Amino acid sequence: MTGDAADARGPIAASPTWSPTWSPAWLPDGALAALGRRRVRVAGSGPLVGTVRAEVAAATARWGGAVVDDEAPADLILAVAADARPVGPEGFTVERSAGSLTVRAATGYGLLQGLWHVVRYGEAAFAADGGAPARVVGAFAPAEPIRMLDHWDNMVVHPVMGQVERGYAGGSLFFSDGRVRDGAADLGRVRAYARLLSATGVNAVAVNNVNVGPTEARLLTEHLPGVARLAEAFRAYGIRLYLSVSFAAPMTVGGLPTADPLDPAVQRWWSAATAAVYAAVPDFGGYVVKADSEGQPGPFANGRDHADGANLLARALAPHGGTVFWRAFVYDHRQDWRDRSTDRARAAHDHFAPLDGRFDENVVLQVKFGPMDFQTREPVSPVIAAMPRTRVAVELQVTQEYTGQQKHVCYLGTQWSEVLGFRFWGADGPSVADVVGGRGPARAGAGAGGRAAGVVGVSNVGTDEHWTGHPLAQANLYAFGRLAWDPGLAPEAALDEWARLTFGDDDAVVAALHRLMDDSGRVYESYTAPLGVGFMVTPGSHDGPSVDGYEYSQWGTYHFADRDGIGVDRTLATGTGYAGQYPSPWRETYESLETCPDELLLFFHHVPWEHRLRSGATVAQHVYDSRWDGHARTVEMIAEWAALRGRVPDDVHDRVAARLVEQERSAREWRDQVRTYVYRKSGVPDSRGNPIC
């Protein structure tokens, strides 16, 4: 939801502070120690090979190894080789022979990824047994060509949203006082950020908010020199820069009387503006667009559709090799809550599925993972399955808008892994990761497996010294990149990599982090909105509980609780028909009360309070118990973290400890509000006898 004057909001973003120092996150000095102790040879040329060489030089100087030349024996060889093409432009191979490890890639980018691969395994990369059980040796390539982070950063501080919309980690890394940052310190930090992202596999960033204000609309014009500075910092690590643009820019920036996509003057304006961007940033990635969504301008104003709108920008970008990311988050945000036939969950599919086949090749349709809005639990958006002739990217939310606002520990790798692994056509069919990676089902007119795009995440960073407010939220940023590169990586394995890189190989710390974090998404879910119903949050800020906060509002986010029951009937038989937007078998699975998974029951069905879940508990009792136990778990978490004092840096320990106290308080508030609400509405007692406050 956007800043809407009529929408009451609490405090949102932390004040935009600039920290002159920052946490090394998952690249502390020690992370490069194993490599730094070796004799390393780097072969190849070009800017990214230069980055690899500089990393190796710094690490060997620090840890006593050496950079060696062609003839000398080496423990590690990193080489760009013209014939090393079996793994595509971003991949690399790793071989071991006669005691040395050889990384080969066709490009500097692939070599840089090979370097991070070796860093990630530490000493195990060099172990005589091949680092078993780690898979050090082999051929590696990303499953998803697009691995992008979108920043919702404003240049000026928005009166309601702060500088970073839904940002919980301070101000913007990129902008300050209405300008793009400059100066060595500021750009040095952007470069440090690029380095961290590169080590996760992220290869694209959009630097400004999709809600584009008047100042930000001019990133395309007078702020271009600043954009070029940012692009340069990212370029050193192989990351391409994108801008969010306003569909109305031809009017607001260009002074034209219309933004109609079919108007030749509008088309000329976009072509000229885009050419100017490429003159400043030759490897510019392209545009991200939120159109006809929550008040942003779009093609509907001129009676055009979203294919017309997206293709307008795509054609301006095409001569330069750029791409437009067109968001599918289009719905009626001025709904009447009494109207039960309008279902926000249906909206994206209703708007976009009929347009399949009409988008140009360089359009990527960017679809939020669920049909509503980044809730803790939603079904996977059926739009992803409905567009075989369109390039589709799935959008995840790394920033914790609805998942604890970086005050709660909530490891999101688990959720993303479930989303990316979801199989629309049943267990033997392709997964979401396959579909967005261009490996979908073969369908008439769609090519072998659809078209390739990838994964986009909304970033969770800011100027905070820990980057992410909650230091443990760094794991989400790390896991995002790793799962976008390899969606088959177990979320616990991604967490393990992050924990060992960040805190070193202290098994007690790593084990404690697994205990705290592996299940933290489910713990969060267990004390907040139950069984897929979502949106029981404080309107505006989305922070903390308000069971009916959005119930009688315009936003289309209802749970329909009354004295008899709760949930939204989205069946074909008696509801909004949303379940029918899925292919089989899911349309039948969701349609039936008998087969609908418990965790999504209230998303698809309106049921009596004493309806029995597949687990055997009634809905009311499930809500009572899980909220009670979920809160109890947060009490344990405080003690588990306390035991790590002295084993992790003190500043990290203090910050996490303080936030765990807040998490416990908030979980208690959630527990009490939701339990009380259910009891008051239903009159059903808690059979376990825990107090209703």
Please report, as ranges, the residues that interact with ligand GCW according to CB under 6 A: 1-2, 152, 165-166, 210-211, 290, 329, 373-374, 401
How does 221-251 read in b/e, with b if 16+ C-beta sit within 10 Å? Answer: eebbebbbbbbebbbbbbbbbbbbbbbbbbb
End-to-end alpha carbon distance in the chain: 31
Q: Residue 194 is which amino acid?
A: A
Q: How far is the CB of 294 from ligand GCW (least distance, A)?
A: 6
State which H helix or E strand residue 394 sits in: strand 391-397
Does the annotation mark 401 as catalytic? Answer: yes
Does the annotation mark 150 as catalytic? Answer: no
Rounded CA separation 493/686 (Å): 38
Measuring CA to CA, which residue among 625, 618, 612 is closest to residue 675? Answer: 625
Does the annotation mark 373 as catalytic? Answer: yes
Whether 280 and 224 have beta carbons less than 8 Å apart is answered as yes
State which H helix or E strand residue 607 sits in: strand 607-608
Nearer to ligand GCW, 10 or 46 (CB): 10
- 659 is written with which tokens? 């936030």
Measuring CA to CA, which residue among 276, 277, 255 is closest to residue 265? Answer: 255
Identify the active-site residue in 4, 294, 305, 551: 294
Rounded CA separation 197/150 (Å): 12
Three-state SS annotation for 199-215: CCCCCEEECCCCCCCCC
Q: How far is the CB of 330 from ligand GCW (least distance, A)?
A: 10
Q: How far is the CB of 293 from ligand GCW (least distance, A)?
A: 6
Nearer to ligand GCW, 293 or 673 (CB): 293
CA distances, 7 to each of 2, 10, 338 (Å): 9, 10, 19
Q: How far is the CB of 150 from ligand GCW (least distance, A)?
A: 9
In the DSSP assignment, the letter for residue 134 is S
Nearer to ligand GCW, 210 or 420 (CB): 210
In the DSSP assignment, the letter for residue 346 is G
Nearer to ligand GCW, 400 or 621 (CB): 400
Three-state SS annotation for 634-688: HHHHHHHHHCCECCECHHHHHHHHHHHHHHHHHHHHHHHHHHHHHHHHHCCCCCC
Q: How far is the CB of 663 from ligand GCW (least distance, A)?
A: 21
Rounded CA separation 86/184 (Å): 40
Q: How far is the CB of 550 from ligand GCW (least distance, A)?
A: 11
Q: How far is the CB of 242 from ligand GCW (least distance, A)?
A: 15
Peptide bond into 133 cis (omega under 30): yes
- 390 is written with which tokens? 């369109």
Nearer to ligand GCW, 438 or 534 (CB): 534
Q: How far is the CB of 116 from ligand GCW (least distance, A)?
A: 30
Whether 125 and 118 have beta carbons less than 8 Å apart is answered as yes
Nearer to ligand GCW, 294 or 625 (CB): 294
| Three-state secondary structure call for residue 327 | strand
Nearer to ligand GCW, 378 or 434 (CB): 378
Identify the active-site residue in 373, 378, 543, 569: 373
- Which residue lies nearest ligand GCW, judged by its C-beta? 1
Nearer to ligand GCW, 458 or 648 (CB): 458
Nearer to ligand GCW, 401 or 569 (CB): 401
Whether 52 and 108 have beta carbons less than 8 Å apart is answered as yes
Whether 447 and 435 have beta carbons less than 8 Å apart is answered as no
Q: How far is the CB of 521 from ligand GCW (least distance, A)?
A: 18
CA distances, 289 to each of 90, 316, 344, 391, 500 (Å): 26, 14, 20, 15, 37
Rounded CA separation 30/628 (Å): 41
Nearer to ligand GCW, 473 or 644 (CB): 473
Residue 493 CB partners (closer than 8 Å, separation 6+): none
Q: How far is the CB of 259 from ligand GCW (least distance, A)?
A: 19
Q: How far is the CB of 480 from ligand GCW (least distance, A)?
A: 16
Q: How far is the CB of 398 from ligand GCW (least distance, A)?
A: 12
- 156 is written with which tokens? 């000026």
Nearer to ligand GCW, 164 or 479 (CB): 164
Identify the active-site residue in 153, 401, 569, 591: 401
Residue 33 CB partners (closer than 8 Å, separation 6+): 59, 62, 63, 122
Nearer to ligand GCW, 93 or 403 (CB): 403
DSSP per residue, 148-169: EEE--EEEEEETTTEEETT--S
Active site residues: 294, 373, 401
